Amino acid sequence: MKKHLVLAATCFVMLCACNSSGNKSGGSNADNAKSGAGVSSETPKGLELITSLDCTTCHKINEKNIGPAYTDVAKKYDATEANIDNLAHKVISGGSGVWGTVPMTPHAISLDSAKEMVKYILSLRNQQ
């Protein structure tokens, strides 16, 4: 019972944190990507999904926020099918430990959507 209460409280706190609309950088990831990341006038599906969810609360394209910068994730993982599948499952399930102690909350999205997001993130490998 106690474990369930602690888990519920932790989930509540993380949901509140991820649903906040504050953006300390003054611009969204979509703005950052369009202005300096070389994204064409046609926004990639993965970026559209990222900006439509709560991802930009914790992540930015080029700098660490609560979570790692997307460019750092891209540098850590090759764009292989195995990595795309593994990271997509992590987006859906959440997790912690790879980038520090702050957990990433689970996201209720389809595996195909998560894979599109991961493919976009891994495409940022050569960006600063």
- The reply to whether 28 falls in a domain is yes
Q: Give the pLDDT band (50/70/90) at residue 86.
A: very high
Q: Which domain holds residue 84?
A: 2-122
CATH number of the domain within which 24 lies: 1.10.760.10
> pLDDT digits over 33-77, tens only?
433 344 445 789 999 999 999 999 999 999 999 999 999 999 999
Q: Is residue 67 part of a domain?
A: yes
**Residue 30 belongs to a domain:** yes
Measured between alpha carbons, how far is 126 from 93 in angstroms, rounded to an integer? 27
Non-local (6+) Cβ contacts of 36 within 8 A are 62
Within-domain flag for 127? no
Per-residue pLDDT band at 126 (split at 50, 70, 90): confident
Q: Give the pair of three-digit tokens for residue 115.
A: 């894979």
Whether 53 maps to a domain, the answer reads yes
Overall pTM surpassing 0.75 (yes/no):
no
Is 128 part of any domain? no
- pLDDT for residue 118: 97
What total of structural domains would you count in the chain? 1
- Interatomic CA distance for residues 56 and 40, integer angstroms: 20
- DSSP one-letter code for 118: H
Place of tokens 């369930």: 4
